[in-house]
Amino acid sequence: MDKKILEEGIEQIDAILKEEGISRRDAMKMFGLGGAAMMMGSGVVTEAKASSSAKGKILIVGGGLSGIAAASLLMRSLDEPNITIIEPNEKSVSYQPGQTLVGGGVWEDSDTEYMTADFMPDGVMWIKEKAVEFDPDNNVVKTSGGQSISYDFMIIAAGLKLDFAQIEGLGITDSITSRGDDSAVKDVIGKNGICSIYFANGATNTWKLMQEFIEKAKNGQKVQGVFTHPSTPIKCGGAPKKIMYLTDARLREADARDNAELTFYPNGGKMFGVPEYHEAIVKQFEARDMKWNYNHNLIGVDPQAKIATFYKHWLEKGEYDDILEEYSMVARGEKVEVPYDFLHITPPMKAAEEIANSPIGSDQGWVPVVKETMQHVKYPNVFALGDIAAVPMGKTGGSARKQYKVVVENLISVMEGKELTAEYGGYTVCPLITSLSTVMLAEFDWSGKPTPSFPLDPTQERWIWWLLKVYALKPMTQYGMLPGRA
C-alpha cells in the first residue's frame, strides 16, 4: 500500500476521532506504532517483557499469522531461543481479511498476498513441509518429507481447511486452504454464478461474477443473489454478510438494485451471537431490503440448473412429560430448493485430518485447550491458538492477536516451571463492512456483550471504521502483529 495513501487515511481517522470528542493523545494511545498501525483488538503496541533464560526446543506447527507472531515474540523473549516452524506454504501469512475487499472490487489480490519468508523471524528454522503425524507421548512430529522432528514444547497454529466437499453436486472431493493449491475447486467455484471469498482465487472470481450479476440487473433482468453460512464453525463469522453488503452497495452504485433480490441463508437462528449486534444487523438488512431465512444449511448445488438445496430445520413440540411438566422438542427438517443467479458459498470448515485424527485432536477436530490459558487439556507442553484452537468464537485475526501473547507468556511459564497466569478473555473483533464507505466495528468477548475499544456506540456504522479497515488493519498486521509487537 502506498505510504502517502496510508498517511492520508490515518490523518482522516485522527480528524474524525477529534470530531467525536476523542483527544489526539487518547487516539494515539489506542493507535500504536506512531498512529500507523491500528488496533486489531483493544490495546497498544507492546514490547516483550524481560527476557527469560528458560531453554527448550520449541516446535510451531503452522506458519501463518498466529504461528509467525508467536515465533517472533518468543525470539525476543528468550535468551537462547530454539524455534522450528513447520509450514509448507510460502505465502501462508498473506492477508486473509483483505479477501472480502478483493471480492467486492475494492482491492486486488496483489494487495493481500505477500511472502512468508519476508516475515519469518531471523534465527527460526523453517521446515517447508507439512506435519502429517503427531506423537505427543514421545514429543515427535513427522513431516511429509519423512523427517521426525522432536520437541520439548509445541504450539499448534495450523489454521483450518475449507471443506466444499461436504456440499453435494459440486463434484469436489478434497479440502483446501485459504491460500495455496486450490486445484480441487477451481473448475467449480468461480463458474456458473458460484463464488466464495474464502480462498484467494475465489475472492478474485467473486468480483468477476458479481460484475456479471450486476450487469444482468442493470440490463433489466430480475436476478437472485443467495448468500450462505454453514453449520460448522467458520473463520470470520461476519464475512458471509460482508460480501452480501458489498453486493448490495455495488448494485446501488450501478442503479440496478431494484432488479435484484438478495437473500441470506444462515444455518443458525440469529444474525449475530451478541444481541446488540444482532439487532443492529437486522435493522441494516431491513433498511437495505435484504432478506433472510434462518435455519437453512446449504447441502447441495446444481451448477447447471443454478439451484441451491438447503436443509431447513426447526423444532416442534413432542410428547408432554408429566413429571417435568414440559413438552419434549423434536427436530424436524425438509429440503428446500432455491434458484440463484449469484451464489456466494461460505464453505463448511474443519481441522486438517492429520490433526483431527491424532492424539492432539478431538472428536470435533479442533485442538482441545483450556480456553483461558490456551494450554492443551491433556499435554501440558502443548499449546494451540488461532483457527485450530477449540475455544468459543475466536476464529479471527483480532482473536489471534490476543491469544498469541497469552500462549507465549504461558509457554515460558511452563518452561520455567511456574504457574500459568496469562489468560485469554475471549476477545473477538469483526469489522463488519456494511457498504462501500461504512463499517460496524463489532467487538465482544465471552461475556456475550459488546466490548468497544472506543467511547463510541459500537452498533453504529461509521466511515471512520471503513478507513480503519481499508487503510490501517493490514499494516498493523504486517508491522505490528507479525513481528510480535502488537
Helices 239-253 and 200-218, axial angle in degrees (round to 10)? 40
Closest by CA to 124, choosing from 151, 84, 89, is 84
pLDDT of residue 34: 36
Please indicate, yes or no, whether residues 341 and 361 belong to a single structural domain of this protein: no
Mean pLDDT of 223-247: 97
Is residue 265 domain-resident?
yes
Q: Which residue has the cell 414440559?
A: 326
pLDDT at 60 over 50: yes
Name the residue type at position 178.
S
Least reliable range by pLDDT among 15-29, 283-297, 332-346, 392-406: 15-29
Q: What is the percent of the chain with per-residue pLDDT over 70, rounded to a whole number?
A: 90
Domain termination site, one of 306, 327, 347:
347
Query: Which pLDDT band, with edges at 50, 70 and 90, does 39 fall under?
Result: very low
Task: State how many domains the chain has.
Answer: 2
Please indicate, yes or no, whether residues 155 and 214 belong to a single structural domain of this protein: no
Domain termination site, one of 302, 322, 347:
347
Please indicate, yes or no, whether residues 72 and 156 belong to a single structural domain of this protein: yes
pLDDT at 10 over 60: no
Q: What is the percent of the chain with per-residue pLDDT over 90, rounded to a whole number?
A: 81
Q: Give the tens place of pLDDT for each residue, 267-288.
A: 999 999 999 999 999 999 999 9
CB 368 within 8 A of CB 145: no
Mean pLDDT of 217-230: 98
The CATH number that applies at residue 182 is 3.50.50.100
Mean pLDDT of 453-482: 91
Is residue 277 domain-resident?
yes
Q: Give the tens place of pLDDT for each residue, 144-164.
A: 999 999 999 999 999 999 999
pLDDT at 221 over 70: yes
SS3 call for 32:
coil
Question: Across the chain, what does the average pLDDT equal?
Answer: 91
Is residue 7 domain-resident?
yes
pLDDT at 31 over 50: no
List the domain range (segments joined by +) for residue 336: 164-347
Least reliable range by pLDDT among 15-24, 26-35, 58-67, 189-198: 26-35
pLDDT at 453 over 70: yes
Mean pLDDT of 124-143: 98
Domain termination site, one of 320, 347, 374:
347
pLDDT at 45 over 50: no
| d(C-alpha 214, C-alpha 225), whole Å | 10
Please indicate, yes or no, whether residues 117 and 44 belong to a single structural domain of this protein: yes
Q: Give the tens place of pLDDT for each residue, 353-371.
A: 999 999 999 988 999 999 9
Is residue 201 domain-resident?
yes
Is residue 319 domain-resident?
yes
Mean pLDDT of 286-300: 98
Q: Give the tens place of pLDDT for each residue, 164-177.
A: 999 999 999 999 99
Please indicate, yes or no, whether residues 373 and 334 belong to a single structural domain of this protein: no
Query: Which pLDDT band, with edges at 50, 70 and 90, does 13 fall under?
Result: low
Q: Give the tens place of pLDDT for each residue, 379-392.
A: 999 999 999 999 98
Mean pLDDT of 390-418: 94
pLDDT of residue 17: 56
Q: Give the tens place of pLDDT for each residue, 236-249.
A: 999 999 999 999 99
The CATH number that applies at residue 374 is 3.50.50.60
pLDDT at 40 over 90: no
Please indicate, yes or no, whether residues 311 and 193 belong to a single structural domain of this protein: yes
Active site residues: 236, 430
pLDDT of residue 318: 86
Please indicate, yes or no, whether residues 275 and 192 belong to a single structural domain of this protein: yes
Mean pLDDT of 63-81: 96
| d(C-alpha 90, C-alpha 372), whole Å | 31
pLDDT of residue 28: 44
pLDDT at 25 over 80: no
CB 59 within 8 A of CB 153: yes
Helices 239-253 and 275-288, axial angle in degrees (round to 10)? 20
pLDDT of residue 32: 40
| d(C-alpha 256, C-alpha 212), whole Å | 12
Higher-confidence residue: 18 or 251? 251
pLDDT of residue 35: 38
Is residue 27 domain-resident?
yes
| d(C-alpha 219, C-alpha 202), whole Å | 26
| d(C-alpha 395, C-alpha 49), whole Å | 26
pLDDT of residue 38: 41
Please indicate, yes or no, whether residues 202 and 126 belong to a single structural domain of this protein: no
pLDDT of residue 455: 86
Three-state secondary structure of 172-231: CCCCECCCCCCCCCCCCCCCCCEECCCCHHHHHHHHHHHHHHHHHHHCCCCEEEEEEECC
Is residue 486 domain-resident?
no
Three-state secondary structure of 437-468: CCEEEEEECCCCCECCCCCCCCCCCEHHHHHH
Please report, for residues 196, 266, 309, 333, 447, the alpha-carbon distance to residue 330 in angstroms, rounded to integers and kept in the order given.
Answer: 34, 21, 23, 10, 30
Please indicate, yes or no, whether residues 63 and 19 belong to a single structural domain of this protein: yes
Which helix or strand (DSSP H or E) is residue 312 part of?
strand 307-321
Query: Which pLDDT band, with edges at 50, 70 and 90, does 328 fall under?
Result: confident
pTM of the model as a whole: 0.90
Please indicate, yes or no, whether residues 318 and 357 belong to a single structural domain of this protein: no
142 class by beta-carbon count within 10 Å (0-12 exposed, 13-18 middle, 19+ buried) = middle
C-alpha cell at 241: 454478510
